[in-house]
Amino acid sequence: METERFAVAKRNDLMRPYWLDQALKNQPATPCPALQQDTRADVCIVGGGYTGLWTAIMLKEQNPELDVVIVEADICGAGASGRNGGCALSWSAKYFTLERLFGVNEAIRLVKESEQSIYAIGTFCERYAVDADYRLDGTLYTATNRAQVGSTDGVIAALERHGINSFSKCALPEVQRMAGSVRHIEGWFSPAAASVQPGKLVRGLRRVALERGVRIFEGTPMTGLEEGMPAVVNTPNGKVTCDRVVLAMNAWMARAFAQFSRSVAIVSSDMIITEPRPDLLERIGLTSGVTVLDSRIFVHYYHNTPDGRIMLGKGGNTFAYGGRILPVFDQPSPYAGLLRNTLTEFFPDFADVGIAATWNGPSDRSVTGLPFFGRMGAGGNIFYGFGYSGSGVGPCHMGGQILSSLVLGLDNPWTRSPLVQGPLGYFPPEPIRYLGSLMVRNAIRRKEHAEDRNRPPRRLDVRLAKFAAAAGKADKG
Ligand SMILES: Cc1cc2nc3c(=O)[nH]c(=O)nc-3n(C[C@H](O)[C@H](O)[C@H](O)COP(=O)(O)OP(=O)(O)OC[C@H]3O[C@@H](n4cnc5c(N)ncnc54)[C@H](O)[C@@H]3O)c2cc1C
């Protein structure tokens, strides 16, 4: 495998997205030195985001003697984990997809586990004094136009039938008060969701991993992988010879390994955050850490911050040809203007409030909208997990349970789960995937533009939009 496939952009601290920048300033930590010589380990994890770090911590929890190494191309949290929207959501809204793919029993189990992961993140933060602004204040799934009204009813009825429904319908004044905006015309609330400062969470995970004896090498990209028993992870100045490898590289997987090139589409989620105005939040009623999502295909999602800001995001904007990680993913969002307009529509009181930062980042959208896990390599000792489709803050905790169980060779519901069957669908080859993605994205935009004006969308646009809608609600990328 040639080195170019593993290339990760060189960034510097001035280019860090808002959350990571804030986390680094609040909790400065010396970067872990890069690997400078050959080393031996039991397990080598590639990628220091939530997936890699949860896996490392869970491995150490189960077997403290295990020698676990993480190689991270940049610093821990430099990928999606240090820049996401911080909405920790369960898989309730994905129930139909889960049932269709995995059957009723596994779908029920996964919805429950996804809720448990939200609580487990809170417990983890408390136990290890990780100040990640974790607020277990629930989520509101809303409608912001007539076409969206009722779109959540079906899935909630199914959750109810199976005894796993945590949502209740709120009276409209309550929806608008909690969400801080009269743009919402319907709302379902679930207490099983949290908001976090994602950068602080990932840096907290890094600290705990180090405290547990995980050896982390930052500024250390994997430049090649030699399969076998043992496997060898090559980096510029040293190799890690190890019994097992975990690939936790998220959006970077699609370029790095040819067999995954069509298993995900790389698409941006774009974000803005305002200057702090706690007085205005008080006035509009958006005072809790509730996360709010409308019912678009690529939802608008927002929450406030404890210091009085509003963060608003939307996925599905920039699509990357051939799964490339484009330079624009490390720049201010090209869609900041659109987000600003939406913010003002939602919160007229914030019309004159400055935008403190804008950014974006790559999400790995799978065909099903769900992540997938598996093993590869001649020795079956290389494990991977990605494809969170813009919804990974909570699910990466499940990813850690799955990957640590696979590494330890356990027989449990995670290793028996159909989630470990590898990709469950493929996008068409380029250029069809790219052109098709743009066609679907533009159809969605036209459809939702019409619906926002309470006009009927074109029938062709509705049909094209269904290609993206198939993956289920609440995808942020
Ligand atoms: C802008 C944005 C907003 C989002 N909002 C939400 C949200 O509100 N809620 C939600 O649930 N999810 C959200 N997501 C998705 C969520 O952030 C991700 O699913 C999650 O962070 C994935 O974690 P990860 O550890 O798998 O990947 P990452 O955090 O991306 O980590 C992968 C790491 O691998 C490293 N790497 C890559 N190649 C190599 C190599 N060759 N060698 C060594 N290291 C390498 C990268 O530098 C990176 O640090 C959002 C994503 C984005 C981009």
Residue 278 C-alpha to ligand 1 middle, in angstroms?
30
Closest ligand 1 atom to residue 75 Cα is 49
Q: Tell me, what CATH number does 289's domain have?
A: 3.30.9.10
Q: Is 454 among the domain residues? A: no
Structure tokens at 206: 């890094």
Q: Is 419 among the domain residues? A: no
User: Is the whole model's pTM more than 0.75, yes or no?
Assistant: yes
pLDDT value at residue 378: 86
pLDDT value at residue 23: 97
Expressed as residue numbers, the domain containing 184 is 88-125+133-196+267-318+330-362
Closest ligand 1 atom to residue 71 Cα is 43
pLDDT value at residue 470: 55
Q: Is 3 among the domain residues? A: no
pLDDT value at residue 13: 65
Left (φ > 0), alpha (ψ -120 to 50) or beta: where does 469 sit?
Answer: alpha
Q: Is 171 among the domain residues? A: yes
Measure the CA–CA gap between 423 and 386, rounded to whole angstroms.
9
Q: Is 424 among the domain residues? A: no
- Among 411, 316, 295, which residue's Cα sits nearest to residue 365? 316
Ligand 1 atom 16: the closest Cα is on which residue?
A: 392
Helix (H) or strand (E) holding 448: helix 432-452
Measure the CA–CA gap between 128 and 212, rounded to whole angstroms.
11
Q: Is 137 among the domain residues? A: yes
Ligand 1 atom 18: the closest Cα is on which residue?
A: 392
Q: Is 307 among the domain residues? A: yes
Q: Is 237 among the domain residues? A: no
H helices within 319-394, ranges in order?
336-346
Amino acid found at 115: E
Ligand 1 atom 53: the closest Cα is on which residue?
A: 361
**Structural domains in the chain (count):** 1
The length of the chain is 477
Measure the CA–CA gap between 351 and 225, rounded to whole angstroms.
51
pLDDT value at residue 3: 63
**pLDDT digits (tens), the chain, 477 positions:** 446 777 777 676 667 999 999 999 998 889 999 999 999 999 999 999 999 999 999 999 999 999 999 999 999 999 999 999 999 999 999 999 999 999 999 999 999 999 999 999 999 999 999 999 999 999 999 999 999 999 999 999 999 999 999 999 999 999 999 999 999 999 999 999 999 999 999 999 999 999 999 999 999 999 999 999 999 999 999 999 999 999 999 999 999 999 999 999 999 999 999 999 999 999 999 999 999 999 998 899 999 999 999 999 999 899 999 989 999 999 999 999 999 999 999 999 999 999 999 999 999 999 999 999 999 998 899 999 999 999 999 999 999 999 999 999 999 999 999 999 999 999 999 999 999 999 999 999 999 999 999 899 999 999 999 887 654 444 555
pLDDT value at residue 469: 65
Ligand 1 atom 15: the closest Cα is on which residue?
A: 390
pLDDT value at residue 2: 47
Residue with tokens 């590289």: 249
Residue 425 C-alpha to ligand 1 middle, in angstroms?
21
Ligand 1 atom 51: the closest Cα is on which residue?
A: 84
> What stretches of 294-354 adopt beta strand conformation (E)?
300-304, 310-319
Amino acid found at 27: Q
Residue 71 C-alpha to ligand 1 middle, in angstroms?
15
End-to-end CA gap in the chain: 28
Closest ligand 1 atom to residue 88 Cα is 11
Residue 160 C-alpha to ligand 1 middle, in angstroms?
32
Closest ligand 1 atom to residue 385 Cα is 26
